[in-house]
Amino acid sequence: MESNNSAAQDSDRKSHRSRRSRRSHHSRMKIWGLTFALLVTIIILIISSAYSSSRIEKLSKRVSDTQQQLFVKEQLVDSLKLQLGQSKIELENYIEGRIPSVMKLQPDQVLAVNKDIIKNIVFSVVRQNGTKVYEYKLVVENLTKEVLVPKFRVLVFDKYGIQIGLDKVSKGEELAPGESRSYSSRVEFSMKNEPVYFQVSSDIPRRTALRIQKYVK
The domain locations on the chain are 1-98, 103-216
d(CA 69, CA 63): 10
Q: How far is CA 126 from CA 1, 9, 195, in A?
A: 133, 122, 14
Half-sphere exposure of 87 (CA within 13 A, CB side): 8
pLDDT tens for the chain, 217 residues long, are: 555 556 555 665 556 556 666 666 677 777 887 888 888 888 888 888 888 888 888 888 888 888 888 888 887 787 777 777 766 676 666 676 667 788 999 999 999 998 888 999 999 999 988 888 999 999 999 888 888 888 889 999 998 889 999 998 877 788 898 899 999 999 999 888 899 999 998 876 555 554 555 555 5
What is the SS3 assignment for 77?
helix
What pLDDT does 208 receive? 54
Angstrom distance (rounded) from CA 10 to CA 16: 10
Q: Which CATH superfamily is domain 103-216 in?
A: Immunoglobulins (2.60.40.10)
Please give the pLDDT value at position 155: 93
